[in-house]
């Protein structure tokens, strides 16, 4: 999974082959227009302003808005524009830091962000660890693309699922998923809190799922680069009881291209996006072990309604008749953000380092907009 996504020459992201947006390979909330960023911005401001007010800011230090895996750069640019317009004093003390490991995607981001009103730089978490920043880290549809381990039940024990190359003179070479060796005790210990070590007659031979072994290292690297601030994860995620329920017999690993989904993760490697849902329970445990304090989580539909989506939707009625087409497009996007059968089922999970244990704005009841 890591290879076919991130190889600089052949990987779907590493080469910059995949495109994000309505005319690309898959849609994200930011790719549907600027309303998503406008709704998210007040939450970021609420996290950033207390850091700005601290005595350490007198040294001239800039706060950082860090986006990991920034895709096309759309979300970063839209947020920068909103912050520079509506919170100019904060924007003067803010820099944009993009953590993008794929050169093909970084090249496209540089094109998009040429007009960015904030100072912008590209970095890695390893580089940030040399001089940690204070601010907010955004991980929007990032952790679902971290490489997962697949495991399969053989009727008596758990085994790692491997990719095997089959080649002979009589047929074209092919890739197949096959059981490997039984899991080591250290890996088996991860299964107990997920309920996978308990006998279950509803789990037949061949039942398989994923383990998110790359999430904890990512959280460690992110923590090393952020000395104080907040992390917001927005992604596909399920509770463990749903993720590892017997009815989910083939896990969540899926391939996407040209707005189509495919359940075969081995189809045309390097040309499809691969994604696997997060397990909320595992993510919370890994975050705590990495030194992150959980601040709260909910579905995207609930989060955006708390941040003023209904008011924004109502405000479309005030657009002039000449803007009817724009109003319809924005209305469709706003409804997709909260549709539980679409983007509304994404999860928002917030974590803090050295910040007060305060419920995020997106977890509170909707109310009047904050004065800017």
User: Residue 371: what pLDDT?
Assistant: 42
User: Residue 89: what pLDDT?
Assistant: 94
User: Residue 328: what pLDDT?
Assistant: 87
How far CA 278 is from CA of 71, 236, 309, 338, in Å, comes to: 19, 6, 26, 19
Q: Domain residues of the chain, as ranges?
A: 2-146+212-248+271-363, 150-209
Query: What is the C-alpha to C-alpha distance for residues 9 and 15, in angstroms, rounded to an integer?
Result: 5
User: Residue 58: what pLDDT?
Assistant: 58
Query: What is the C-alpha to C-alpha distance for residues 372 and 369, in angstroms, rounded to an integer?
Result: 9
User: Residue 362: what pLDDT?
Assistant: 92
Nearest to 19, CA basis, from 114, 108, 93, 100: 108
Question: Could you say which residues of the chain have pLDDT below 50?
Answer: 369-372
User: Residue 324: what pLDDT?
Assistant: 78
User: Residue 1: what pLDDT?
Assistant: 94
User: Residue 77: what pLDDT?
Assistant: 97
CATH class of 2-146+212-248+271-363: alpha beta
Query: Would you say how long the chain is, in residues?
Result: 372
């Amino acid at each position: 999974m890591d290879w076919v996504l991130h190889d600089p020459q052949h990987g779907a992201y590493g080469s910059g082959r995949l495109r994000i947006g309505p005319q690309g390979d898959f849609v994200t909330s930011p790719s549907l227009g600027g309303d998503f960023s406008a709704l998210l911005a007040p939450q970021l401001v609420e996290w950033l302003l207390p850091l700005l007010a601290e005595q350490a800011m007198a040294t001239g230090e800039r706060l950082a808005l860090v986006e990991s895996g920034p895709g096309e750069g759309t979300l970063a640019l839209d947020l920068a524009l909103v912050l520079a317009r509506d919170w100019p004093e904060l924007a003067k003390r803010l820099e944009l830091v993009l953590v993008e490991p794929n050169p093909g995607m970084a090249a496209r981001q540089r094109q998009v962000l040429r007009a960015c009103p904030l100072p912008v730089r590209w970095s890695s978490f390893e580089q940030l660890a040399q001089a940690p920043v204070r601010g907010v880290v955004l991980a929007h549809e990032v952790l679902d693309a971290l490489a997962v381990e697949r495991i399969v039940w053989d009727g008596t024990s758990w085994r790692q699922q491997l990719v095997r190359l089959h080649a002979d003179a009589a047929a074209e070479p092919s890739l197949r998923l096959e059981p490997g060796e039984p899991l080591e005790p250290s890996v088996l210990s991860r299964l107990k809190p997920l309920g996978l070590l308990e006998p279950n007659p509803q789990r037949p031979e061949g039942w398989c799922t994923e383990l998110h072994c790359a999430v904890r290292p990512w959280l460690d690297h992110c923590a090393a680069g952020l000395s104080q601030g907040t992390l917001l994860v927005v992604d596909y995620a399920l509770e463990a009881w749903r993720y590892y329920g017997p009815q989910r017999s083939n896990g969540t690993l899926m391939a996407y291209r040209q707005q189509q989904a495919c359940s075969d993760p081995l189809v045309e490697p390097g040309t499809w996006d691969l994604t696997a849902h997060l397990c909320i329970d595992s993510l919370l445990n890994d975050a705590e072990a990495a030194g992150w304090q959980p601040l709260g989580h909910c579905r995207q539909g609930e989060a955006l309604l708390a941040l003023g989506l209904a008011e924004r939707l109502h405000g479309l009625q005030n657009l002039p008749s000449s803007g009817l087409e724009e109003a319809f497009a924005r209305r469709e996007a706003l409804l997709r953000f909260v549709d539980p059968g679409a983007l509304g089922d994404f999860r928002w999970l917030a974590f803090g380092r050295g910040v007060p244990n305060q419920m995020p704005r997106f977890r509170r009841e909707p109310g009047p907009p904050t004065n800017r």
